[in-house]
Amino acid sequence: MTPTILVVGATGNTGRSVVETLPSLIKKTSSLSNHHILCLTRSASSDAARELAKIPAVEIVEQNWVEIDATWLREHKVERVFVASHNEPNQFAEEGQFYANCLVAGVKYVVRISTTHANVKPNFLAYYPRTHWAIEMMLSQPEYKDLAWTSLQPQGFLSMFLGPAAEFIKQYRMTGEQNTLSSLIDADTPYALVDSGDVGIVAGHLLAQDDVTPHNNKKYIVNGPEDFSGRKLVELVEKHIGTKVDENKIVFQDMSFLDQMAKGPHSKNLIYSVEHAPKNNKDVTCRAAATSKEILELYAPRRTASDVMKDLLSQ
């Protein structure tokens, strides 16, 4: 079996563009040109999985990544890995176990998706940025010196933040009536939301480096190319509906979706802690200008809110 680059969550927000980016990049390298790209998905029969399977050197496999052990990694000769984990309360246990298995199996390099740089700290009130902090601290320890890694810390994904606005536009076009326009961010604070596909392309460029030493043990800020805000969201919506949005219909920093999440199996205290996640967007590292220089040199994120909105409205 040829050496393998493993992509966890290949049909997800970031994983798909990782897979689309990698084949052409590794062909140009001296050490990776014969590597096999193994893509994990929950459904190999999905439209997204079928499209990726058409790419040369790409194989799609139905496999739950949290069940992968060191033996599986060795058998598949996995040398490099991309991971975009879930962010449920058991994330540290499952993602941490995966990296422990990678270390034992001799995996050489991991690129993982973290979260907003300003939030990744041990005392942040929302639970999941603390999880990312803990994982990055774990990988930084001497015991993990044989597993090179890079953690990408993106701003909020444009598709998530624009999704409710896209539904508002679609509903207005059908009925001529305005429902509630919901925004996760506040009205005026600039926030460099980023396209998840751009983040995946960045990850693909990292995975395709002949020498990953310059990127080992690094945490990179990955922001979008422009600063965005709740007011700019309203302006974008108005452009698409051709009229003003009723001010009484706008809800900024709307976290009401947590009420539904809190009905699930996890602690309500943990779930509602997520309401603190957008409150750190006044930090200067949340601006477009704060993107790490190493990222700008590899692949500067370029897709804007307007670009992503067009995609959402076409779906």
Three-class secondary structure assignment of the chain = CCCEEEECCCCCCCHHHHHHHHHHHHHCCCCCCCCEEEEEECCCCCHHHHHHHCCCCEEEEECCHHHCCHHHHHHCCEEEEEECCCCCCCHHHHHHHHHHHHHHHCCCEEEEECCCHHHCCCCCCCHHHHHHHHHHHHHCCHHHCCCEEEEEEECCEHHHHHHHHHHHHHHHHHHCCCCCEECCCCCCCCECCECHHHHHHHHHHHHCCCCCHHHCCEEEEECCCCCECHHHHHHHHHHHHCCCCCHHHEECCCCCHHHHHCCCCCCHHHHHHHHHHHHHCCCHHHCHHHCCHHHHHHCCCCCCHHHHHHHHHHC
Residue 164 lies in a domain: yes
Does residue 210 share a domain with residue 275?
Answer: no
Does residue 201 share a domain with residue 263?
Answer: no
Does residue 41 share a domain with residue 140?
Answer: yes
What's the domain range around 231?
158-192+225-287+302-314
Residue 295 lies in a domain: no
Does residue 251 share a domain with residue 150?
Answer: no
Q: 93-113, pLDDT tens digit by residue?
A: 999 999 999 999 999 999 999
Does residue 230 share a domain with residue 137?
Answer: no
Does residue 107 share a domain with residue 249?
Answer: no
Under the banding of pLDDT at 50, 70 and 90, the label for residue 279 is confident
The average confidence (pLDDT) of the chain is 96
Does residue 87 share a domain with residue 162?
Answer: no
Does residue 121 share a domain with residue 53?
Answer: yes
Residue 297 lies in a domain: no
Please tell me the pTM assigned to this model.
Answer: 0.96
What confidence score (pLDDT) does residue 282 get?
80
What confidence score (pLDDT) does residue 115 get?
97
* Total number of domains constituting the chain: 2
Residue 296 lies in a domain: no
| CATH of residue 209 | 3.40.50.720
Does residue 166 share a domain with residue 79?
Answer: no
Does residue 59 share a domain with residue 24?
Answer: yes
Does residue 51 share a domain with residue 172?
Answer: no
